Structure 1
Amino acid sequence: MPPHVLKDKTAMNKITLLGVKMVEEIASMNERTDDRNPQTIFKKFKDQVITTVWDRARVLVPMLEAKIKKLEAQLVSEMNKEEANRDQNVAAATIEEKIQILEERRHQQVRYTTAAMNRIHGETVSKYWTALNKAKTPRDTILGLRNCDGSGRILKDPKKMASLARKYHNDIQWEDLTPQAPTERKKNIDEALREVKCKLNPDQANFMSKRLTREEVAFALAHAETGKAAGINGIPYELWKALDQQFIDEKE
């Protein structure tokens, strides 16, 4: 999940609205079924979050990058004109000057970010410190992937290669998660529970039956480590932290 999307207000507002809709749907649910229950509604919400983030990421180009690319296209257009004249040269020089200013600004932003990261994490043994002091070995370029549909075709289009790799890894994660009929699922759960020898005493059972408070959830979220790989749903802790912070900011 692209980190910069989590700082985008449009994306976060859309996700917030999806969350509100999810809560309302769960609250209005009169009867629990296998197809419609809090778990399936939450699953739908997470799928919608992933779609929202990636849709936004496709259109959310950093402003400096977009401006630079636009100016570069204008410069190429000016330079490709058949008849060169003084006005054309002035226009091209002006565009080049604007590009240089934006490039310097982008470089300065990178320097500020790098300096801040070094100041915070540079002297601490952390993931950042390890990566900073790790030898950068060149990576082999993957020129093609063999399609696993039985055709044996080699895919060389980057988008098709990415789609194939994504499908391959998703299939691995879902390989053993075959859907079960409700009766079979209950039977398997009962069999597993019968093998559990350690039982909760009444006090422990009462404690486990209590609803979680917002303070407990906030505490767990605050202590959740960032920079970790996302789970099977593809949503990292950073998103939940960002949503919680947005909730706090809106309350204030």
Structure 2
Amino acid sequence: MKEDTPKLEARLEKLKNDIRDVLNDDTLPVAEKQLAAEALETERDNIEAKRHQKIRDAVSDKFWLQGETLSKYWINLNKSRTPRDTIARLRTGRGDQRTHTTSSKQMAEEARSYHESLQNAGLCEDLTEEEVEEVLSHLTTRLPNHHKYRLAEYLDEEEVRQAMKDLPNGKAPAFNIIQILTRIFNDIERHGIDPNTDFAKGWMCPIYKKGDETDIANYRPITVLNTDYKMMTRALTTKLSEAAPTLIHPDQAGFMKGRRIEDQTDLAQMLLYQCEQDNMNGLFVFLDQEKAYDKIRHDFIWRTLETLNFPNHFINTLKTIYNNGETCIIINGVISDTYRVVRGVRQGDPLSCLIFNLAIESLAAMLRASELRGFQTSGEEERLITSLFADDTTVYLSANDNLETLQQVLKRWCRCSGAKFNTNKTIYLPVGNPEYRAQVAQTRLFGPHHIPEGVQIAADGTPVRMLGAYIGNGIMNPEVWTPTLDKLKSRLAQWDKSRPTGNLLAGQETLR
């Protein structure tokens, strides 16, 4: 149909012009003019009917293929339509110079200025090489040679073809450009990105979260990247994913093949139960990183990859991709000037998750190598001290552990990596026997150490949200799941509007 449609459109346009010319041709007799016009109109109507039938067939085919499946097409059929969000005004300036603007251009530039300022905010200017070496010295794994050789190779056509296949439906270009893309990607690997191109450019759309709507800090930055950029980094991700499990400890479950998010939540639930049954007193510390993916230092990433024995070819390819990154802001359809991305891993980049996992692995290694005892679980030789899902980090402390030791580990890692932990979003969950839990919650003392002000202590009956699940002491109340259940009911009610037959495919299962 895609090939026929332009021809039909062109023929219809020609018939439209021919009919107009015939009707305006005063040299033809009226009867002849009428016959000629009728013939042209008949042909036009037939082509219109043919085009309309092709459209109906295409819609029908798409519905049979994607209808009642968990696809973007079927979900959008039943999705409620809301007007596109616009930003009416934003606060500009600081202190006594604070004012507001309603100009979309000025708002876009204000957003650009805000996000550009975050690039260098909070970085340690007095960071020494010795500090970085000490942090990275805890990384004991190294990239095996066969993986190193693999990552040192240039991307080939089969890898680019697979990257294209892995793209979501409706996102991939045609397969006839694979050879061209492979040559482009290889050229980037050899010579870097041409600065005159927008290959590594991103377009950021701020989406309102909560709070003051005039404060740009209360908007979630959603960045869109070029398809060819994502195809290249997806191909690199596929190669990296083969090697990542040899470098990243099983404590990290985020975006790792064969490791699941429920592994971490089930672990916390079971350990919580065991602590109460066996009187294993201690503390679960749920850490929260502030804009984790946006703050990690690029030079820390490069040093991490070098320490892990990555080939220079792979590191240099990443450097040219990251060093040429730039972003502009779009507000109300108005595009700001660009700013350089000199920090963080990029949102929407398939490579970002594994690169961040490698960067945060040194923190997990520091915790495992520290004097913190954590918990010893049955059947495990290695003590349990931490679990991670990407940047979501949980630390398990026994009652005899020193809270200051944990704080020092976090401080040293943050200085080197550029990261920052949110004290006001960190949650401490006392575990063990009820008397001990109550004592910690009431006195804010963990052994001889005072729990910092601003840190929330989850007393009995207070649910703690961990990776989408709720854990805590004495939280059998099902009301904690009420918002989630209400959301599910609302979604099912939307889907019910399409009168599903009951054969809705969910993964490999059929709901009946």
Under a length normalisation based on structure 2, what TM-score does the superposition of the two structures give? 0.22
TM value normalised by structure 1 = 0.42
Greater fraction helix: 1
More strand by percentage: 2
